[in-house]
Amino acid sequence: MGVQGLVSFLERHGTVYRDDAEFRMSRLVIDGWNLVYLLYYRSGLDQNLGGEYAALEDLTERFVAALRTCGVTPYVVVDGGSDFANRKEETVLKRAEDATMRAHRAVVEGSREDILPQLAKRVFIQTLVRLDVPVARCFSEADQEIAALATEWRCPVLSEDSDFYIFDLPGGLLPIAHFQWQDVRRRGSYSYIPCRRFYTSAFCIVFSIQRRLLPTFAVLAGNDYVKQRKVRWAQFDPTGGDRPHRLMGLLHWLKDFNEPQDALKAALGLMGDLSETSKAELMKSLSLALDDYRLPPSYLKKFFIHGVAPPLPAEIKAVVPDWMRLPLARSELTTDVLDVLLMQRVSLSIVVEHRDLPPVSLTSRPIRQLIYGLLLGPDTSLQVMERTRDGLQLNYIPVKPTFTRVTERLRLSSLPQADASERLQVLLEALGVTQDQLSLLPPELRLPVAVTCYWMKRADPDVKLLKSLLLGMSNGAQTSSTAREAQNQLHQNLDVSVVHGLAQWQVCLKDATHLNQLLGFPLPPPTMARLYQGTLVHQLFHNRRLAEGLLEGDRPREKTYRDMLSTVLRVHHQEVSTESRDTSQPRRRPLGELMSNIQQEDEDTVKEELEELEEEVVSVKTRYRTKERRQRRIQPELTRKKERRHRDLL
């Protein structure tokens, strides 16, 4: 929900906080997404090269360790789908437009613009699950449920969200900015975390306002659901001066009221001449916003204690299959599925990319179209509206669900019961690979390598960029001292094409992961923190010495790299050869034979095999492009028809 400017306003009135120097031995309900944003941004991690996921994993591990050292039991709750009532669409769109401009500025200027890397939330959740930290994902916005759970347990909330300054929490609020988890201290036999705590009682004493009027203050100040700009509240600021503050003015004005409805009616009187209809609609809107601060019984308590799946809200129960409840609550299924099922609308993530380049989300759109088909079924005529970028403008574009012979037979209500081989076939066909092509790879690398094959076909990256990516993947979270040196020297002038290409790969991995989740994990989900380290991959691309020495002396990792590279190049070679209809290429040894002999053969021989294959792929691609250019000159109208047909399919 959010009250704009409230946190910074209260920071200037420090008496509302109570020093609580020994936070320990307590439950703690954590606003998950708020925490991951602040952990990432305030730690100075890379934002523009695609993310430093191993570093985020390490931060999360150290955060949890600090809590447990002090006897604190964390319960993490995160937001789910969009506002189904569509009450805050204007606010959401405005924020997304601002983020889009900042994302472009990040590429142009190399500046830090607080754009969270695409896979950061997944890394955060995976790390918490691995550490056995209880995590719950709500079906929509989490604020109410976080406050309800903390109220029932009488424990504090950890967040920086302004709404938690409005909820009357018995255990208070621990603002993350004042939660010194990196400075765990000892006193005698126990450890504690220095922090400050906020209670609404202190707020009300400092500003002389009735506690039951705090929600009224929030909605009149203008939260995410109610935008009220017709009253100039700053005129009531008793401190006067050249810079009166609207929140101080509103708080002073509210001193004369005891009941919320009386204050709302008086506020309507300050808004000038309004028709009776306008007054009724505005009063209804304000009253609905007040309801958002009334806490229902917590449904997550049973989930955390007994593992019971939360009930679906009444407004979504009719269209969401019951089997989805538990995977959604466990974050094993993206809540984008709720947006598709309920509103046939999806807001795609904001990515660091240049405004003049096509949105990276176009690369993975065919994967999402298959997801939409599985969710909406073959009998529907519905389309999904995707919020996407056109330059720096955000628009909703209609996207058709697509189907295969297998998905036409599958039904969402019984999808978990579908044959495992069919679910695997859907995933592999979507990525353009076969089981045999992935058979030599470790199970945890099969999905990311299949995604890389798909990316090679759809994004058409340079082979050098492919090698840099796979080198980083084979290196896992290990970073050599040479790599650290190179990362520290990374300059701010970003290579836009490299940033764009790797962002395309990440969005492909993200959407393929969502398809894998929906299909019940026919391939093992990869550990995201081990796959991609942004600064490392960029340095591998630009620094040949680093690339050559990264796996030196580490034969298992070197073999993993060669297996991945050979798999991707051979799949891509088959794709390009098929498209070019050129059968004149010399035959190569089968992939299985090449890989089975890798330990026996001379290393130079194996290297030559891969280099020859790379040259062959580049050669075929070059001939294919030359043929395309020739066809454009000879048959321009046919070419334009093909391009229009391609756009229609998208």
SS3 sequence of 212-270: HHHHHHHHHHCECCCCCCCCCHHHHCCCCCCCCCHHHHHHHHHCCCCCHHHHHHHHHHC
Query: pTM of this prediction?
Result: 0.89
Query: What's the average model confidence in pLDDT over 536-547?
Result: 92
Could you give the strand order of the β-sheet that contains 345-347, starting from the edge strand earlier in sequence?
Answer: 345-347, 384-390, 393-399
pLDDT one-digit tens code per residue, 288-313: 889 989 999 999 999 999 999 999 98
For residue 395, being part of any structural domain is answered with no
Indicate if the pLDDT at residue 482 is higher than 50.
no
Q: What is the pLDDT of residue 14?
A: 86
Q: pLDDT-based confidence at 597, cuts 50/70/90?
A: very low
For residue 634, being part of any structural domain is answered with yes
- Residue 311, H or E segment: none
Q: What is the pLDDT of residue 600?
A: 39
Q: What is the pLDDT of residue 91?
A: 82
Greater confidence (394 vs 578) lies with 394
Q: What is the pLDDT of residue 401?
A: 97
Q: What is the pLDDT of residue 19?
A: 85
By residue count, the chain amounts to 650
Distance from C-alpha of 178 to C-alpha of 183, rounded to nearest angstrom: 11
Distance from C-alpha of 259 to C-alpha of 493, rounded to nearest angstrom: 57
DSSP secondary structure letters along 587-641? P---HHHHHHTTTTS-HHHHHHHHHHHHHHHHHHHHHHHHHHHHHHHH-HHHHHH
Kindly state the DSSP code that residue 308 receives in the 8-state scheme. Answer: P
């229902």: which residue's tokens? 296
Q: pLDDT-based confidence at 461, cuts 50/70/90?
A: very high
Q: pLDDT-based confidence at 603, cuts 50/70/90?
A: very low
* Residue 425 Cα distances to 28, 349, 432, 572, 613, angstroms: 43, 28, 10, 19, 27
Q: pLDDT-based confidence at 491, cuts 50/70/90?
A: very low
Torsions phi, psi of 186, nearest 5?
-115, 145
Q: What is the pLDDT of residue 646?
A: 34
- Residue 591 CA from chain centroid, whole number: 36
3-state DSSP assignment of residue 477: coil
Query: What's the average model confidence in pLDDT over 36-51?
Result: 95
The answer to whether the Cα torsion of 515, 132, 173, 292 is positive or negative is: positive
Is 494:107 a contact under the CB 8 Å cutoff?
Answer: yes
Listed residue (348, 340, 414, 424) closest to 383, CA to CA: 340
Q: What is the pLDDT of residue 332?
A: 97
For residue 293, being part of any structural domain is answered with no
pLDDT one-digit tens code per residue, 260-286: 999 999 998 888 788 888 888 888 888
Mean pLDDT across the chain: 87
Torsions phi, psi of 543, nearest 5?
-120, 100
Indicate if the pLDDT at residue 601 is higher than 90.
no
Indicate if the pLDDT at residue 1 is higher than 70.
no
Q: pLDDT-based confidence at 477, cuts 50/70/90?
A: low
For residue 567, being part of any structural domain is answered with yes
Is 143:223 a contact under the CB 8 Å cutoff?
Answer: no
pLDDT one-digit tens code per residue, 48-73: 999 999 999 999 999 999 999 999 99
- Residue 323, H or E segment: none
Kindly state the DSSP code that residue 347 receives in the 8-state scheme. Answer: E
3-state DSSP assignment of residue 513: helix
Q: What is the pLDDT of residue 581?
A: 54
Of 206, 236, 270, the domain-final residue: 206
| Structural domain span for residue 97 | 6-206
Q: What is the pLDDT of residue 607?
A: 57
Of 206, 229, 257, the domain-final residue: 206
For the chain, give the longest Cα–Cα distance.
Answer: 88
Parallel/antiparallel/unpaired status of strands 393-399 and 384-390: antiparallel
Greater confidence (2 vs 288) lies with 288
Distance from C-alpha of 128 to C-alpha of 121, rounded to nearest angstrom: 11
Is 203:217 a contact under the CB 8 Å cutoff?
Answer: no
* Paired tokens of 497: 């094409």
CA-angle at 319, arms to 313 and 325, nearest 5°: 55
3-state DSSP assignment of residue 490: coil
Q: What is the pLDDT of residue 469?
A: 97
CATH code at 149? Answer: 3.40.50.1010
Q: Which amino acid is at 196?
A: R
For residue 466, being part of any structural domain is answered with yes
For residue 261, being part of any structural domain is answered with no
**Domains: count for the chain:** 2
Indicate if the pLDDT at residue 192 is higher than 90.
yes
In the chain, the percentage of residues whose pLDDT exceeds 70 is 84
* Residue 483 Cα distances to 435, 501, 530, 543, 544, angstroms: 34, 21, 16, 10, 12
pLDDT one-digit tens code per residue, 559-572: 999 999 999 999 98
Indicate if the pLDDT at residue 578 is higher than 50.
yes
Query: What's the average model confidence in pLDDT over 69-91?
Result: 87
For residue 469, being part of any structural domain is answered with yes
Query: What's the average model confidence in pLDDT over 326-353?
Result: 96
Listed residue (383, 270, 333) closest to 519, CA to CA: 333
Q: pLDDT-based confidence at 226, cuts 50/70/90?
A: low
Indicate if the pLDDT at residue 615 is higher than 70.
no
3-state DSSP assignment of residue 506: helix
Q: What is the pLDDT of residue 552?
A: 86
Indicate if the pLDDT at residue 129 is higher than 70.
yes
Distance from C-alpha of 610 to C-alpha of 616, rounded to nearest angstrom: 10
Listed residue (356, 321, 352, 357) closest to 338, CA to CA: 321
Distance from C-alpha of 260 to C-alpha of 93, rounded to nearest angstrom: 30
Distance from C-alpha of 428 to C-alpha of 447, rounded to nearest angstrom: 9
Of 157-166, 544-553, 591-600, give the lowest mean pLDDT range. Answer: 591-600
For residue 321, being part of any structural domain is answered with no
pLDDT one-digit tens code per residue, 433-456: 999 999 999 999 999 999 999 999
Of 151, 176, 206, the domain-final residue: 206
Torsions phi, psi of 195, nearest 5?
-165, 175
pLDDT one-digit tens code per residue, 94-112: 999 999 999 999 999 999 9
